[in-house]
Amino acid sequence: MNMRSKSSGGARPAASAPGVVRIIGGTWKRSKLAVAAAPGLRPTPDRVRETLFNWLGQDLSGLRCLDAFAGSGALGFEAASRGATEVLLIEQAPALVASLRDNATRLQASQITVQRGDALSLMRQRAGQAWDVVFLDPPFGDGQNEALFRDALKAARDLVSSNGLLYLEAPRVWTDAELAELGWRLLRQGRAGQVAFHLLGPQAPGG
């Protein structure tokens, strides 16, 4: 695919009650996603999602997308709303898994599959599946989750197709050198408050 013009340990206060995330574009624009309470849950802000889907393009028809550490599922549901034909949401917290499945059922989102389990393990099991877009938003852990981010970036490298894209949300900016070491090249980058977000592509062999 060519470039077109979370549920534990968050950088924000932990959720104390169920909440709502609103889909901002596509077929389900303005639809509400109910989200269960979960410590450290940090849904991707609306303005960050808007920027991301401006980068990806508003029409994701025919694309396969994987949302690891899905949390509220906002990124995966946004992709499905914009035409992605297959969306896999991976989440470990039981209450969030239940919310994701309830929302998919309510929206009759047959293209969405919710899988409960450890994101790193399931990503590694799916190595070589060549997804078009992978969304990666691991728990921030107050900035202490560097090893998790590196492991997740490594696992994602074997998931993305040769011309696919990876979205990374993190508590800090990842440098070109750090990303290159893990097989990625930086395409776009932005920051909103405590969130740094990146659009990455696979580094070409020998690049």
Residue type, 132: D
Q: What is the pLDDT of residue 143?
A: 57
Domains of the chain: 19-202 (3.40.50.150)
Mean predicted confidence (pLDDT) in 16-44: 84
For residue 18, give every residue at least 6 positions away whose Cβ sits within 8 Å of its Cβ, in sequence order, or none: 34, 35, 36, 37, 99
Mean predicted confidence (pLDDT) in 85-101: 96
Q: What is the pLDDT of residue 140?
A: 81
Q: What's the farthest any 2 CA atoms get from each other in the chain?
A: 49
Which residue carries 């979960």 as its tokens?
Answer: 38
Closest-CA residue to 190 (of 16, 32, 49): 49
Mean predicted confidence (pLDDT) in 117-127: 96
Q: Residue 166 half-sphere exposure, CB side, CA atoms within 13 Å?
A: 28
Give the SS3 label for residue 21. strand
DSSP per position, 108-140: T-TTEEEEES-HHHHHHHTTT--EEEEEE----
69 falls in which pLDDT band (50, 70, 90)?
A: very high
Mean predicted confidence (pLDDT) in 146-156: 95
141 falls in which pLDDT band (50, 70, 90)?
A: confident
Q: What is the pLDDT of residue 38?
A: 79
Tell me: pLDDT of 2 over 60.
Answer: no
15 falls in which pLDDT band (50, 70, 90)?
A: very low
Q: Which residue has the higher pLDDT, 38 or 127?
A: 127
Mean pLDDT of the chain: 89
Q: What is the pLDDT of residue 75?
A: 97
Q: What is the pLDDT of residue 184?
A: 98
Residue 67: burial class (beta carbons within 10 Å; 0-12, 13-18, 19+): buried
Q: Can you tell me the distance from the alpha carbon of 156 to that of 81, in angstroms, rounded to the nearest whole number? A: 23
Closest-CA residue to 69 (of 136, 134, 168, 162): 136
Give the SS3 label for residue 67. strand
206 falls in which pLDDT band (50, 70, 90)?
A: low
Q: What is the pLDDT of residue 122?
A: 97
Query: How far from each other are the two terminal CA atoms of the chain, in whole angstroms?
Result: 19
17 falls in which pLDDT band (50, 70, 90)?
A: very low
Q: What is the pLDDT of residue 144?
A: 60
Q: What is the pLDDT of residue 13?
A: 35
